[in-house]
């Protein structure tokens, strides 16, 4: 029983990491309808920014997120405005552009760091917290608590504020939203900025957990895409729930089946869910078709 609980808690905390990375990607994917291949590299850049703040400025990584997240928000606005917005009527070119950004950011960081791995060592990275008699990683528990708070805050933002309602309108039908007076281009900017800021939060919280390298973004982006589609386009609760599901599947399959097959197993579940419900677990049925029709 203790083993089962350990696996359960480990899966939930791993799912929290996937949810944290996926929520920002889901907003961008659901609103702007861009498959942002560079989202993992945004997380990577935020992790290096956190490393710089901690190593050279002496800022605790959990406080550095208040520096890194606003910087990533501005960075996201710049990317959307200068790279993606001019290609607004060329959705395929936007996809290629994000892939080009992936290569650019990855190779730029490789040149700056010479490929040397970096890590944030500190007492916080080895803290264990007792949860119902079980020892769990303190940094992973912090990630789970923060992503739960972010998911709740974003839900309230989308439901109770005018910018949030504009985002929901664009998710459902951008042409109708435009006819109702919503500034779609401004909504794109806001959404991409928010998605980038969330990547900044993810980078700050994950920097004490993972060894930094220019290629680390690839560790997250594959699972993040699966979580986004599994949870539903533009659905914050869906991304949160999808991340937990993927984390639990990976944890249990890695222990009971084969660690080498854990990703293959959650991809099988992902494909099966996609076949049964293409809109995702909590996505609006037909929303993905609206986005495709509007881009043709």
Return all residues near 61 (Cβ < 8 A) that are at least 6 apart: 50, 53, 54, 120, 124, 204, 205, 207, 208
Token digits for 269? 């579940």
Q: Residue 239's domain is classified under what CATH number?
A: 1.10.3470
Task: Find the farthest-apart pair of alpha carbons in the chain and give their distance in angstroms, rounded.
Answer: 57
Name the H helices within 32-137: 39-56, 61-79, 91-113
Could you tell me the two tokens for 291? 């986005």
Three-state DSSP state, 163:
helix
Indicate if the pLDDT at residue 37 is higher than 80. yes
- For residue 290, pLDDT over 50 is answered with no
Q: What percent of the chain shows pLDDT beyond 70? A: 92
Amino acid 2: pLDDT: 66
Q: Which two tokens stand for residue 13?
A: 């905390």
- Candidates 216, 224, 229, 190; CA nearest to 30 is 229
Answer whether residue 234 shows pLDDT above 80.
no
- Residue 107 has a CB neighbour count (10 Å cut-off) of 11
Q: Which domain holds residue 238?
A: 2-295
Closest CA to 32 of 185, 160, 159: 185
pLDDT in tens, 177-192: 888 888 888 999 999 9
pLDDT-derived band at 12 (thresholds 50, 70, 90) equals confident
Confidence of residue 296 (pLDDT cuts 50, 70, 90): very low
For residue 285, count CB atoms less than 10 angstroms from its CB and return exposed for 0-12, middle for 13-18, buried for 19 or more: exposed
**Tens digit of each residue's pLDDT (9 = 90 or more) over 79-109:** 999 999 898 888 788 889 999 999 999 999 9
Distances (CA, A) of 32 to 173, 175, 194, 220: 11, 13, 12, 21
Give the range among 59-73, 101-115, 217-231 with minimum mean pLDDT: 217-231
Across 189-265, the runs of DSSP E, i.e. the strands, are none
pTM as predicted: 0.87
Q: Which 8-state DSSP code applies to residue 82?
A: I
Domain count, the chain: 1
Model confidence at 193, pLDDT cuts 50, 70, 90, reads very high
23 Cβ contact list (under 8 Å, min separation 6): 147, 150, 151, 154, 198, 236, 239, 240, 243
3-class DSSP assignment, residue 212: strand
Name the nearest CA neighbour of 254 among 5, 80, 10. 10
Confidence of residue 224 (pLDDT cuts 50, 70, 90): confident
CA angle 72, 34, 97 (to 5 degrees): 75
pLDDT of residue 68: 95
User: What span, in angstroms and rounded, lies between the C-alpha atoms of 182 and 32?
Assistant: 14
Q: What is the pLDDT of residues 124-177, one digit of tens each?
A: 666 777 766 677 777 888 889 999 999 999 999 988 899 888 888 887 777 888
């Amino acid at each position: 029983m203790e083993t089962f609980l350990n696996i359960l808690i480990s899966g939930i905390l791993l799912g929290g990491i996937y949810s944290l990375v996926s929520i920002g990607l889901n907003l961008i994917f659901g609103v702007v309808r861009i498959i942002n291949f560079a989202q993992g590299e945004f997380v990577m850049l935020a992790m290096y920014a956190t490393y710089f703040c901690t190593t050279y400025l002496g800022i605790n990584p959990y406080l550095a997120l208040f520096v890194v997240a606003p910087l990533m928000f501005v960075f996201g606005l710049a990317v959307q405005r200068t790279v993606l917005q001019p290609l607004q009527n060329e959705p395929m070119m936007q996809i290629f552009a994000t892939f080009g950004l992936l290569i650019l950011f990855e190779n730029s960081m490789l040149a700056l760091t010479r490929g040397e791995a970096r890590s944030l060592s500190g007492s916080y990275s080895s803290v264990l917290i007792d949860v119902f008699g079980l020892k769990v990683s303190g940094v992973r528990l912090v990630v789970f608590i923060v992503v739960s708070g972010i998911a709740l805050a974003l839900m309230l933002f989308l439901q109770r504020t005018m910018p949030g309602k504009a985002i929901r309108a664009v998710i459902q039908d951008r042409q109708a939203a435009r006819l109702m007076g919503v500034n779609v281009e401004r909504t794109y900017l806001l959404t991409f900025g928010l998605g980038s800021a969330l990547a900044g939060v993810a980078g700050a919280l994950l920097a004490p957990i993972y060894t930094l390298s220019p290629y680390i973004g690839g560790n997250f982006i594959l699972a993040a895409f699966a979580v986004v589609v599994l949870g539903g386009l533009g659905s914050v609760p869906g991304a949160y729930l999808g991340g937990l599901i993927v984390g639990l599947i990976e944890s249990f399959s890695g222990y009971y089946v084969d660690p080498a097959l854990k990703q293959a197993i959650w991809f099988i579940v992902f494909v099966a869910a996609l076949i049964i419900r293409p809109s995702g677990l909590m996505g609006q049925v037909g929303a993905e078709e609206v986005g495709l029709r509007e881009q043709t």
